[in-house]
Amino acid sequence: MSTDNKPATSTAEASRAFAVTVSAAIFAIAVMVGLLGFVVMPVLEGQTTGLDSFTAICRAFGIGIPAEQNARSSKPSAPASSTAWDSATRNDVRRGDAAAGAALAQDTCAACHMPNGLSADPASVPSTTGLSARAIYKQLHDMKRGERVNEAMKGMLDELTDQNLTDLAAYYSRLPRRNHDIRAYNEVTPNAVVLATKGDVSRALPACEACHNPTAGGPLEVPALTGQYPAYIVTQLQAYAAGTRKNDLYGRMRRIAGKLTPAEIAAYYDAPRP
């Protein structure tokens, strides 16, 4: 017992001895852990599956996995869509010139998409009001690149530059929105409302609104559905389900549409025309 009862640090020699002992102990433990994890366990496990020790140890390190490489396809991989939301693209879309777009739309689009954005033929041509500039740009860009097949528009898109596309997107996205609350239509089946607002957990179907709602935080390019013509929605869902429309990134819509029954697709947003 020291007289002043004040705690003290050990002498230099004692401290050094302590450090050396502890270091040796940690070192020994670390080596043992390494042996266990990389030698003992893999070799023992490997024996039960017929792996020789060397292969087993290599695999434990992550070398030589998978044991047989999958044959590489020589086909170049084709992305679902080459529209990338990098900051340059997002800025270009934001800076689209609506006036230039209006003139261009009058010349090239008006025959099918009326100047107010509604359709000249609701049975086949969609409405382009209420869509965000990003949604419009994405579809135009994909159609131009042939990633979304649209025979009606392909020819004219070949003539248009990227700048033209952003201008058109700016024009159509600034048209007054034509929103129709689906719940206002009593012809809508209750099941469709449930699918749109709640989804169906038993089929792992998310609510359509989880993405198709401008404030939901869904993918940037998600198109608005309210205000869209029922016939168009139905053909698009059928096209996704059949895989003939496949420009949706990650196959998001293909997977969802594939889970809907034909009756559900037919009932979808099956509202009277505005």
Long-range contacts, 25-32 (Cβ 8 Å, 24+): none
Taking the alpha carbons of 58, 59, 63, 66 in that order, is the dihedral positive or negative?
A: positive
Residue 219 is a binding residue for another protein (CB under 8 A): yes
Q: Quick one: which of 56, 93, 133, 153 contacts ligand HEC (CB under 6 A)?
A: 153
The secondary structure of 103-165 as a DSSP string is HHIIIIITTTB-TTS-BS-TTTSPP-SS--HHHHHHHHHHHHTTSS--HHHHHHHHT--HHHH
Residue 54 is a binding residue for another protein (CB under 8 A): no
Nearest to 232 by CA among 144, 146, 141, 131: 131
Residue 177, judged by CB atoms within 10 A of its CB (0-12, 13-18, 19+), counts as: middle
Pick what 109 binds: ligand HEC, another protein, none; C-beta below 5 to 8 Å, kind-dependent. ligand HEC
Q: Quick one: which of 115, 146, 217, 274 contacts another protein (CB under 8 A)?
A: 217
Q: Quick one: which of 150, 163, 213, 238 contacts ligand HEC (CB under 6 A)?
A: 150
Query: Where on the chain is the footprint of another protein (CB under 8 A)?
Result: 1-2, 5-12, 14-15, 18-19, 22-23, 26, 29-30, 33-34, 36-38, 41-42, 45, 57, 59-63, 65, 84-88, 90, 200-202, 214-220, 249-250
Query: Where on the chain is the footprint of ligand HEC (CB under 6 A)?
Result: 105, 108-109, 111-113, 124-126, 128, 131, 136, 138-140, 150, 152-153, 156, 168, 195, 206, 208, 210-212, 218-219, 221-223, 225, 233, 235-237, 247-248, 252-253, 256, 268
